[in-house]
Amino acid sequence: MSEKYFIAALDPFRTFNKFLFFFYIEYLGTQRIASHNEHVGIALSTVGTCLLVWAKIGQHWKKIGVNSTENPYAAFLGHVMKNTDTAYMTELLDGYYERLPSSALQKRMVDAYVESVQFEYRFASAFYNFAAPESTPPPKFTDLFNLISPEVAKSVTSHLLYVEIGNGTLPLSKYIDLIQQSLLFQRGFHAAWESLERKESDLSLKPRLLAESNTETYKSLQGQMKEFNFADGASTAGYAAGESFLPTTRMLIIIFYFLVFLDYIHHLTGIGRNGRVAEGIVALYPRYLLWDEIGAQVNKGIPDIGTHPYKTWLKMVNPENPPDRLSRMRDLTNEYYERESLEGKYRMINVMRQSITHELQFVNGVYGAIQNLI
> Does the pLDDT at position 35 exceed 80?
no
Instruction: Say which range, 16-25, 36-45, 50-59, 88-97, has the weakest mean pLDDT.
Output: 16-25
Instruction: List the single range of 51-60, 146-155, 211-220, 251-260 with lowest mean pLDDT.
Output: 251-260
DSSP for 309-355, written as a single string? TTHHHHHHH-TTSSTTHHHHHHHHHHHHHHHS-HHHHHHHHHHHHHH
Domain ranges of the chain: 3-136, 142-368
Is the preceding omega at residue 323 within 30 degrees of 0, hence cis? no
Question: What confidence tier does 12 reach under pLDDT thresholds 50, 70, 90?
Answer: very low
- For 245-296, how does the pLDDT look when each residue is reduced to its tens digit (9 = 90+)? 444 555 555 666 667 778 899 999 999 999 999 999 999 999 999 999 999 9
282: nearest Cα among 216, 358, 220, 215: 358
User: Which pLDDT belongs to residue 8?
Assistant: 41
Strand segments (E) across 50-174: none
**pLDDT in the model for residue 11:** 40
Torsion angle of C-alpha atoms 155, 158, 159, 164, degrees rounded to 10: 180
pLDDT at 270: 92
Mean pLDDT over 92-115 rounds to: 87
Of 347, 353, 366, 114, which Cα lies nearest the Cα of 236?
366
How many beta carbons lie within 10 A of that of residue 27, not counting itself?
A: 20
pLDDT reading at 214 higher than 80: no
> What pLDDT is recorded for position 84?
82
| Long-range Cβ contacts of 4-13 (<8 Å, 24+ apart) | 7/138, 13/133
Amino acid symbol at 303: P
- What fold is seen in the domain 142-368? Heme Oxygenase; Chain A (1.20.910)
% of the chain beyond a pLDDT of 70: 76
Is 261:361 a contact under the CB 8 Å cutoff? yes
Per-residue confidence (pLDDT) for residue 16, from 0 to 100 = 46
pLDDT score of 319 more than 90 = no
Cα–Cα–Cα angle for 173, 177, 180, nearest 5°?
Answer: 130
Q: How far is CA 159 from the centre of its chain?
A: 19
Beta bridge partners of 16: 135
What's the predicted TM-score (pTM) here? 0.68
| Per-residue pLDDT tens digits for 153-183 | 999 999 999 999 999 999 998 898 889 888 8
Band of residue 13 on the pLDDT scale cut at 50, 70, 90: very low
Q: What is the rounded distance in angstroms from the CA atom of residue 214 to the CA atom of residue 26?
A: 33
Dihedral angle over CA of 232, 234, 235, 238, nearest 10: -70
More confident residue, 138 or 213: 138
